[in-house]
Structure 1
Amino acid sequence: MRLPEPRGGVSETVVRALSGAPGSFAGVPVSSPGYEPWLDEDLQLALWVLYELHYRGFDGVDPDWEWDPALLGLRARLEAGFVEGLRKAVPAVPDEPVARALTTLVDADTGPSMSRFLQRKATLTQFREFVVHRSIYHLKEADPHSWGIPRLGGRPKAALVEIQADEYGGGRLERMHAELFRTTMGKLDLDTEYGAYVGQVSAPTLATSNLMSMFGLHRRWLPALLGHLAAFEMTSSIPNRRYGNGLRRLGGDADATRFYDEHIAADAVHEQIAAHDLCGGYVDQHPDQVGDLLFGAACALYLDGVAAEWILTRWEAGNSALREAPADLAASA
């Protein structure tokens, strides 16, 4: 994967530094742009690039940059602004037993319904744009949450391993969820390479991915990571049924829709494991961390709603939901 084109001073400084030798980064001032951090294209791209150093890296970038102290210092400052904004934006978490509290948060979520739009109204071009946005996470599906496995013990560890084993297809390549999504992309004549469309997606889409990476990389945010996964699983089954039906309406065959169809049954089971065995088991072990766990769930729901609203607003105005339409999408418009 090549380094993306910068979107401002911070991401430009990061991209330029990564083109050189580790140890040469001298830092860069970071100031608030005056609006929510998940709408800040420069900040979210810079964070995404810094996080990707811990995944697969970039062509021509020395792997020693991954633990460069100056880059880690910059990342910490960007993360601090991200978390501060989320603490102000997300709703207060309910004072209930954790499984019930998670259900309360999910039931109270009033974000726009991307799945209903795609099921009933979306054009093929819009569905392809949706897949482009989702590719930023789905081509590495489950990887951020897997960072939680070595930090857990007992019942919650077993629960997370059970969920992740399904995400990775039980060790069978053709059943891995990331590979199923790659097939969907191929059926839609999209570029299936990891990170191919990072230059086309919005800051809110990057923010949904960055949130998972931030929670996953920091042991301090382990309970938030578990809450995030629970919210993710608890809001997956019904939307994926709608996504699959929407793609069938647009002519998608069984191979194209298998990614969505697979999630209908799998995530109906996963949501129970995540809420009760994973989160419930973790809170039994660490009752003082329930607030952080529910904060992670609330952040997941909030940013998913922001990203959906960003896309739907542009579609309803008759515009593309991509920053720049690449040739393979412009041709279908």
Structure 2
Amino acid sequence: MNPPTTTPMTSGRSIALPQPRGELSSAVTEILRAAPSAQPHFPEVGAADPYGDDLQLALHTCYELHYHGFEAVDPGWEWDPELLRLRGSMERLFRRALHNDVKGGNDVTQALAELLIEPIEPNDVAHYLHDEGRWWQLREYFVQRSIYHHKEGDPHAWVIPRLFGQEKASLVAVEFDEFGGGRGERLHARLYADLLAAAGLDDGYLHYVDLVPAPMLALVNMMSLFGLHRDLRGALVGQLATAEITSSPASRRMVAALDKLDAPPPCRLFYTEHVEADAVHEQVMRNDVIGSLLAREPALTESVVFGIQVTNLLEDRFTDHVLGSWRAGQSSLLKPLD
């Protein structure tokens, strides 16, 4: 039996360095243009805004070295000790802000239960798009989310060797679905690339990074931060559980919005896939991953709660930015789409 054929995925290519947004991101992009042995000047992070465009883009650029990298950037920068020291300073600032902005605690059951509480007055993007959204706003939302969905499943793969037993096996089962169940054309990142193309957008990997503001970069950076640090493995499990538990109802709302806006079938397919798959993933994450992990390592309880709360915090910040921009009659991007 011949393997299925697919259209080459343009989103698998490396990209050019992003356009800087301040002192830190300018320094990082300039550093990466040199050879690792050049010993350039590394700036001090100082009092940068932990949620601001400059720090978040600089951090995102550093993290990308662990994914697909950049055109004309020496791969040796990935483990350069001085660049890692700069990244560590930015991470500490970001982590401190996240810890300060969530309540913390160790009640995992309550934290998970709160994920399914529907507000009396919904304030999410899908409801807005269904009730009063326009096609240009839907396309902007696709562009915003592309920064995450081109990586969907990738940050969580780093936690696999840091788990044991049932929690490892169950998380791999969830990841197997995210990666298309062994079929390249069913990769969720591939489905999102198809969504972008169907909406008349470029499906290239991180093609729109220069248009996407800090709130979405912070969400993706948080996943990379959790994935790259073993001491944050509990937080990454909490983040993934939050994504899987909230994904099915959120995707169902998006399908309704897409139907109302008469979106092409590939746009609808991406979200219907998540309605079905993530309803199953919810129970796997609750019982087999979190349950088994905390039975084995109860000391990670606060970290799991932290991951849940931080995910909600950053999703709320993203939603507030997008809806605030649209309600003011403005683009949610740094520059409107052509």
TM-score, length basis structure 2: 0.92
Letter of the structure 1 residue corresponding to residue 152 of structure 2: E
Q: How does 1:142-291 map to 2 (within 5 A)?
A: 142-291=153-302
Letter of the structure 2 residue corresponding to residue 104 of structure 1: E
Asked if 1:63 corresponds to 2:75, the answer is yes
Asked whether the equivalents of residues 56 and 214 of structure 2 are also in contact (C-alpha less than 8 Å), the reply is yes
Letter of the structure 2 residue corresponding to residue 305 of structure 1: D
Measure, in 2, the Cα distance between the counterparts of 1:220 and 1:2: 32
Partner of 1:161, secondary structure, is: helix
Asked whether the equivalents of residues 115 and 246 of structure 2 are also in contact (C-alpha less than 8 Å), the reply is no
Asked whether the equivalents of residues 104 and 305 of structure 2 are also in contact (C-alpha less than 8 Å), the reply is no
Asked whether the equivalents of residues 99 and 276 of structure 1 are also in contact (C-alpha less than 8 Å), the reply is no
Letter of the structure 1 residue corresponding to residue 26 of structure 2: E
Asked whether the equivalents of residues 111 and 308 of structure 2 are also in contact (C-alpha less than 8 Å), the reply is no
Letter of the structure 2 residue corresponding to residue 224 of structure 1: A
State the 1:111 CA deviation: 8.6
CA deviation vs aligned residue, 1:27-63 (integer Å, no higher than 9, x gap): 1111224x5x22x110000000000000000000000
Letter of the structure 1 residue corresponding to residue 71 of structure 2: D
Measure, in 2, the Cα distance between the counterparts of 1:121 and 1:271: 30
Task: Find the counterpart in structure 1 of residue 334 from structure 2.
Answer: 323
Query: Percent sequence identity over matched residues?
Result: 42
Task: Find the counterpart in structure 2 of residue 32 from structure 1.
Answer: 47
Q: Which moved more, 1:146-155 or 1:240-249?
A: 240-249
Partner of 1:235, secondary structure, is: helix
Task: Find the counterpart in structure 2 of residue 101 from structure 1.
Answer: 111
Letter of the structure 2 residue corresponding to residue 7 of structure 1: R
Measure, in 2, the Cα distance between the counterparts of 1:244 and 1:104: 23
Measure, in 1, the Cα distance between the counterparts of 2:266 and 2:45: 46
Backbone CA RMSD of aligned residues: 1.5
Letter of the structure 2 residue corresponding to residue 16 of structure 1: E
Measure, in 1, the Cα distance between the counterparts of 2:85 and 2:242: 30
Measure, in 1, the Cα distance between the counterparts of 2:117 and 2:161: 31
CA deviation vs aligned residue, 1:215-269 (integer Å, no higher than 9, x gap): 0011111000000000111111111111122122112132221000100011111
TM superposition outliers: structure 1 runs of 4+ over 4 Å: 108-111
Number of equivalenced pairs: 322
Task: Find the counterpart in structure 1 of residue 312 from structure 2.
Answer: 301
Give the gaps of 5 or more residues in structure 1. none
Task: Find the counterpart in structure 1 of residue 3 from structure 2.
Answer: none
